Structure 1
């Protein structure tokens, strides 16, 4: 089976076309708003996205969750749109819309027929400056986000554990605070809190407009200047994103999370790791490949050793999230087999890592992974919404359009030596947090 997979990978490597550059046009409006246009004329569809360089890591201390709270409130109406009318209008046009918040950004998007782009820009630019909030809106939506926390976090032991582990990983940086917020602070969020965040960060000179699909750059420019260009820049926008930085981590951190609802115990470890930086993505590329080599699939090192050879685990994986404004994490997970203790599976995982550091990388495995990544990068260009998302996330997290377009080639240029050097730098127990997730101990 492995020989067959290698043959398929080799065939794909010879058949895939050379990298093609996305049809991307960029320009800035006079008020400082950045615009990215991605052309894809295969279907008469357009994706319209507005990204704000403001996420949960930009929140004032004591107001955790206000970025996500404001995301909800942005659908409550303006001087010209009644509460709920925005989404209802999009639906009447046969489109869909939504929004999402992360540590480094908040984004709003609509997917509609390309000839409805004018309407989308008119409505989105309207709520950039004319949001209207009543105390009833605040109370209702605060209850909604608290219930969302109940469903997504409080009722999920793994989510509660991740919150605790992130807080242990980031002692000083706001990445240690959950995007949705701490419950006790969410319950106190006010109209003034939401409007203050809105007034500080929701302005054209802090936003990126991404339009992708069956559009022409000149037409997008004309519409953007008509609707967004009429909005004045915010002169009081902070000149830089004020982030408290992590102090050097000098000692391993550990935690044990017990919850009666845990059906399957597991070990999770994360290491502080560098993010993708503008003009310097090589180390992040090496870590991306390291995650694939260690735990990216059925032929990865952790899976082969822990699941197949020793059968100490029923699941093992490695993850790296390089698209981040500040230091991110490189993570490992191992779920023990029946009858295997957490300490035993952690020891087995550490042995695999030690052996890997001693033996190095299998050249055939690296070649196969590069081929798979190359294929996935090419296939991803078939999704216009995914392309818009890729550019928006990158630009709000400090990268450039050129960085996005260079990324596939940078991944292919990574060598085994680059990967091992990154592994030596990052897989340092002194920069790690290891957590055990287990059920409550039964007492008589």
Structure 2
């Protein structure tokens, strides 16, 4: 089971209740709003003299338009290509020079940049990050080199990876209107036809303090951090952001299916159902919390239901995974993915999955099972509370989905109230054929490696 950030948050906060009761003070978190619209969130953690500095832009692949898919990710690459003050390639060198590590990542919902340094070097990296928020300056030659890097990334991670190809086709089939149907890396044809001006336009449109959240976590004083942020980010001018179109996904009216033929050793099956996500301002909605717990019932530990039945008992698949994100900006899927065991068919795996789901819908789960799942997740995830970077990630990803970091405590309380009957109810309500998309990987023989003799 993929453990998403909010699920980790629930576990950490659940554990924190016991820590606080024992006399340990919770981490202090302070929020500020600058005049130019930039939000600053400071999480104090004085256990080590380090600090994580992150800048989150609420602009990801879901904000792209047809013909320019992948531009959010391309711009992430170009952000390292220099400003008037910092030459191309110098950003990473300067961070390394102060003993720090840095990187960036693009998501469907956001793009984020981070550095982790010794606390006395915070101003150094903050100055660099603020500079490229408003002064990015790359030439066409740099763009032409980097777009080739991105296309090669797509070839390696998607086109040469059967699982990635299957997931890409699943998303494009499941969604009709939502931009979630496009891959974050972009379609190859769009990358081949992308211009430097496309990346510059994306930067000019979305990279502004009024579309950014700065998260600083670690051994810091909030007032000192605020002073530094006002110094470096405060002078950056705000501007009007592009209009965001809702692009509401229309209701699905029946099963969708897609088949992908690609070189692979085994067939794969993915079944994905349309399900609700938690929405800002509607924190009391029960179903998203119950769906989160349903993922753990099915695939939350080694002897969870699907692994026990499909892998250990029936031996119809080599592996099985369940995926659901309760918190996101766009529509969500409840996904079950499997890889066939040798000699087994996709039809057998689908029948086994359906039988396991029907058993759960009919018989439900025990209260003791649900409690055991919570304790198991707790024991597996608690160590992550020691990560300063993980705390910054938790805050930023929650904010980007439209929630506040302040909501997490309430979400936890709500999660603890979910009953076995409510978990059973969401399985009955949403895991039905009307909202189902099935993707099948039909494995093709791999081409023999070309002989190097005579070359």
Pick one of 205, 211, 226 that aligns with 2:231.
226
8 Å CA contact retained: 1:269, 1:332: yes
The yes-or-no answer on 1:247 pairing with 2:250 is: yes
The match for 1:262 among 241, 264, 267 is 264
How far apart are residue 124 of structure 1 and its match?
Answer: 0.7
Cα 1:248–1:109 change in 2 (3 A) is same
Instruction: Structure 2: give runs of 5+ residues left out of the alignment.
Output: 1-13, 447-455
| Separation in structure 1 between the aligned mates of residue 309 and residue 152 of structure 2, nearest angstrom | 42
Please point out which of 271, 277, 280 is paired with 1:278. 280
| 1:212-251 CA distance string (max 9 Å, x none) | 00111101110111111111111x214x632311111011
Number of aligned residue pairs: give it. Answer: 427
Distance 1:57 1:336 in 2: 32
Match of 2:5 in 1: none
Q: Report how far residue 82 of structure 1 moved.
A: 0.5
Any gaps of 5 or more consecutive residues in structure 1? 1-11
In structure 1, the residue corresponding to 2:19 is in which secondary structure? coil
Q: Report the alpha carbon displacement of residue 49 of structure 1 after superposing the two structures with TM.
A: 0.4
Q: Output the CA distance in 1 between the equivalents of 2:100 and 2:333.
A: 36
Q: Which residue of 1 aligns with 2:352?
A: 348
Does the 8 Å CA contact 1:266/1:335 hold for their aligned counterparts?
Answer: yes
**Aligned pair partner of 2:112 in 107, 111, 134:** 107
Q: Is the 8 Å Cα contact of residues 370 and 412 (structure 1) preserved in structure 2?
A: no
1:83 maps to 88
Alignment of 1:245-394 (within 5 A): 245-259=248-262, 261-281=263-283, 282-376=286-380, 378-394=382-398
Change (3 A) 1:22 1:169: farther
Name the SS of the counterpart of 1:233 in structure 2. coil
Match of 2:180 in 1: 175
State the TM-score, normalizing by the size of structure 1. Answer: 0.92
2:143 to 105, 122, 138: 138
Cα RMSD after superposing both structures = 1.9
**1:59 CA displacement:** 1.1
Say if 2:42 is the partner of 1:37: yes
Query: For residues 22 and 172 of structure 1, what CA distance do their matches in structure 2 show?
Result: 41
Q: Secondary structure at the match of 1:224?
A: helix
Provide the rounded CA distance (Å) in 1 between the counterparts of 2:245 and 2:102.
31
Cα drift, residue 182 of structure 1: 0.1
Deviations for 1:243-263, whole angstroms, at most 9, x for unmatched residues? 31111101110112121x211
Change (3 A) 1:61 1:256: closer
The answer (yes or no) to whether the contact 2:367–2:419 under 8 Å persists in 1 is: no
Moved more, 402-411 or 387-396: 402-411
Q: Secondary structure at the match of 1:347?
A: helix
2:8 corresponds to which residue? none
Per-residue deviation at 1:333? 2.0
For residue 162 of structure 2, what is the aligned residue in structure 1? Answer: 157
Q: 2:195 and 2:216 mapped to 1: Cα distance?
A: 33
Whole-angstrom distance in 1 between the partners of 2:314 and 2:159 = 35
Q: Secondary structure at the match of 2:185?
A: coil
The C-alpha deviation readout for 1:159-215, integer Å capped at 9, x for no partner, is: 111111100011111100000000000111112111111111000000000000011
Distance of 1:372 and 1:278 partners within structure 2? 28
Does residue 215 (structure 1) correspond to residue 217 (structure 2)? The answer is no
Q: Tell me by how many angstroms 1:376 deviates.
A: 4.8
- TM-score, L = length of structure 2: 0.90
- 2:10 corresponds in structure 1 to none
Q: Distance in 1 between matches of 2:297 and 2:83?
A: 50
The Cα shift of 1:373 comes to: 3.0
Give the drift of 1:335.
2.8
